[in-house]
Chains A and B, each alone.
Chain A
Amino acid sequence: MRTHSRKTVGALLAVAVLIAACGGSDDAGDATDAAADETEEETEEDAADGDAEQDEMADAGGDALSGSIAIDGSSTVGPLTDAIAEEYAAVQPDVIVNLSISGSGGGFERFCNVGDTQISNASRPIKQDEVDACADAGIEFTEVRVGTDALTMVTSPDTGFVECLTTDEIVSIWGPDGVDSWDQVNPDFPAEPIEIFAPGSDSGTYDFFNETVLEPNDIEQPRQDFNASEDDNIIAQGVIGTPGSWGYFGYAYYVNNTDTLDAIDYDAGDGCVEPSPETAQDDSYKLARPLFIYVRNDALSDPVVADFVAFYLDTVNDVIEDVGYIPASDAALDEARATVESAIGSAG
């Protein structure tokens, strides 16, 4: 017992000495060098990966691929890309798809500025400053439309009187001088208080809603006194539990709560349109937003990435409804395929 314990302590201390030696101020120089060496090796390996894979592929007759793909970006598109990766793993088990969720902006930061992702998920088109950052870094990319999300306005079932809202009515609720009672929105509504639940101001959903509803009316910012959350489930919780509530979020969160939430139709000027796959696809529902992935053109010369993107476009309509979004039209997907192919062509 005695010796045994001593050995354990000894072993622990041996590890301590090893580790501490690396952190020691005297050895700091060496440690940094060693770390740098390791990293360099790693980077070289990564760089060599592409070639190695190509060779392997040639040997295997072009079927089995191996390698890894780094993807980051929107929390809306993330689950969709994950579903594709799930299907892809059945076909190419040796390709590892590493999927992070840093938001569309965070995704583009890595895509353009850091340059360590090959694909970026986005629930909005790339912004000009991000295009500039990519250009500065010499990164060319291809925008690929993969699906559609219909932002859905919702209320609690107790608020049955709200079935459809016009743009003006939404502005009176959501604008900077937002009203507090439903009868101020429309005299036909009862004088019940409004309780608002919406995505936080740093989300793509919030941006898109404002761009669609407020900006055409020259309104910059919505009201600031609302219940904000970054998590659509929490918004759903709030709307469900509060009579007189009003809120909006992605279609998926409505579809999964149809028995506890009522969707509100949107009247953009041509009558009330309900959010649905059909109305989003035929463009009559004006709160539908496109979902994208952005692919680095030089990454497309890597057969792993090229194969994954091609697989994405072939498979997306089989899985997108499971995830809760709306398929892009065949025409849109064909167009995306053509863009990708020409990008692969130019990437050589």
Chain B
Amino acid sequence: MSVLTTPRRTAEQIAQSMASPRSRSTRERLFESVLLAATLLTLLVLAVLLVDVFRDGIGRLDLSFLTSYSSRTPQDTGIRTGLTGTLSLMVLTALFSFPVGIGAAIYLEVFAPDNRFTRFMQVNIANLAGVPSVVYGLLAAAVFVYLLNFGRTLISGAMALSLLILPVIIVAGREAIRAVSPSIFNGALALGATPWQATYKQVLPVAMPGILTGTILALSRAVGEAAPILVAGAVFSRRADNEPWNLFESFGALPIQIFDFVKRPQEGFQIEAASAGIIVMLAVLLIMNATAITLRNKYSKRM
């Protein structure tokens, strides 16, 4: 990695910048303020959005909203279809994409020979990460729904989301593994461990916080995606629950249900029910993130 050696040009630039130390402290404070402002501005947008959503939705949010299926009357409608659908999708997507993603990351970072095929694989993964989500929907519709004849079922939706976030997990996984000091790996080898033992007993635990962060970021992206599962066949309404082990059933999802709410003509749907649905979705997201942070901290202690 280039980061291990100090670039010469950088050193020259540092020396140059030291030539005019006069207004340094003012400039320093200004620079920090600009960076802080960038951070706060984004958070401010999030805050405005959240306040807006909570103001509209919190009154509508109660237990019956979580446990009811959809209804034509905004006061009776609920998010149960979307909630069970999204939770099932998440479980399956994590089960598919996390192991495969880590596997590919380990292969590329640790074992892959430095040849043309490997480089092709690397470039390909980086490029896949930039492919628009709706294209994955088209892929899933063609391959899983029709070619493999899974139909418009939970597994097709989960596969669409898995393929979508796989490159992101691989990229994050590689970064995390790369950040682990080679001395850990080499030390294990020197003590007689096989490369695989060294990887999964020594490198992987250290890299795990980074891998988990990447996976959670990717999964939280998958939670909010409407376009690919819409194309892969999510239903707008069904009065039954999804469970992750019932792979071949029709499925709903939170973003699809929220999409349905905002499209309905009555304000009770567009504003209150949709906002309450968004709060539920954000809660799911927060629980996921909290789990991740707990895991992250647990592994971090080990180091």
Contact = CB atoms under 8 A, between A and B. Distances in A.
- In the complex, are there CB atoms of A and B closer than 8 Å? yes
Interface of A: 1-2, 5-6, 9, 12-13, 15-20, 23, 32, 35-36, 38-39, 42-43, 68, 70, 75, 78-79, 82-83, 85-86, 89, 93, 96-101, 114, 116, 231-233, 250, 252-253, 255-257, 319, 322-324
Interface of B: 69-73, 95-96, 98-100, 102-103, 146, 148-152, 200-201, 204-205, 208, 233-240, 248, 250, 260, 262-267, 270, 298-299, 301-302
Contacts of B73: 322
A100 B265 contact: no
A92 B204 CA distance: 52
A252 B265 contact: yes
Given A9-B200, A39-B150, A252-B265, 17 more contacts: A1-B302, A2-B302, A9-B208, A16-B98, A16-B99, A20-B103, A35-B148, A36-B148, A78-B237, A82-B72, A86-B72, A96-B240, A99-B236, A100-B235, A116-B152, A232-B263, A319-B72
Main secondary structure of the interface of A (DSSP, over half): helix
B152 A78 contact: no
B239 A89 contact: yes
A248 to B, nearest CB: 14
Contact of B302 (A5, A89, A250): A5
B102 A16 contact: yes
Given A16-B102, A98-B250, A6 B265 contact: no
A101 B240 contact: no
A32 B148 CA distance: 8
Given A12-B98, A322-B73, A85 B298 contact: no
Given A2-B302, A86-B70, A98-B235, A19 B95 contact: yes
B92 to A, nearest CB: 11
Contacts of B70: 82, 86
Contact of B99 (A12, A43, A252): A12
Contact of A23 (B100, B235, B250): B100
A116 B250 CA distance: 12
Contacts of B96: 19
A70 B151 CA distance: 11
21 contacts: A5-B298, A6-B201, A9-B205, A12-B98, A12-B99, A12-B102, A13-B200, A16-B98, A19-B96, A20-B99, A36-B148, A78-B237, A86-B70, A96-B240, A97-B237, A97-B239, A99-B238, A101-B236, A116-B151, A233-B270, A319-B72
B240 to A, nearest CB: 4
Contacts of B270: 233
Contacts of A42: 151, 248
A177 B302 CA distance: 73
A1 B236 CA distance: 45
A19 B100 contact: yes
B265 A9 contact: no
Contact of A233 (B103, B238, B262, B299): B262
Given A1-B302, A86-B70, A98 B238 contact: yes
B149 A39 contact: yes
A268 B298 CA distance: 73
A79 to B, nearest CB: 6
A122 B266 CA distance: 21
A73 to B, nearest CB: 11
Contacts of A18: 99
Contacts of B150: 35, 39
Contacts of A253: 265
A175 B237 CA distance: 38
Contacts of B237: 78, 82, 85, 97, 99
Nearest to B301: A1
Contacts of B234: 100
A216 B159 CA distance: 48
A83 B240 CA distance: 15
Given A99-B235, A99-B237, A233-B270, A16 B103 contact: yes
Contacts of A114: 146
A79 B235 contact: no
A79 B74 CA distance: 12
B262 to A, nearest CB: 7
Given A15-B95, A85-B239, A324 B265 contact: yes
A226 B265 CA distance: 22
Contacts of B235: 98-100
B265 A232 contact: yes
A15 B69 contact: no
A250 B265 CA distance: 9
A16 B104 CA distance: 10
Contact of A75 (B69, B103, B250, B263): B263
Nearest to B148: A35
B142 to A, nearest CB: 12
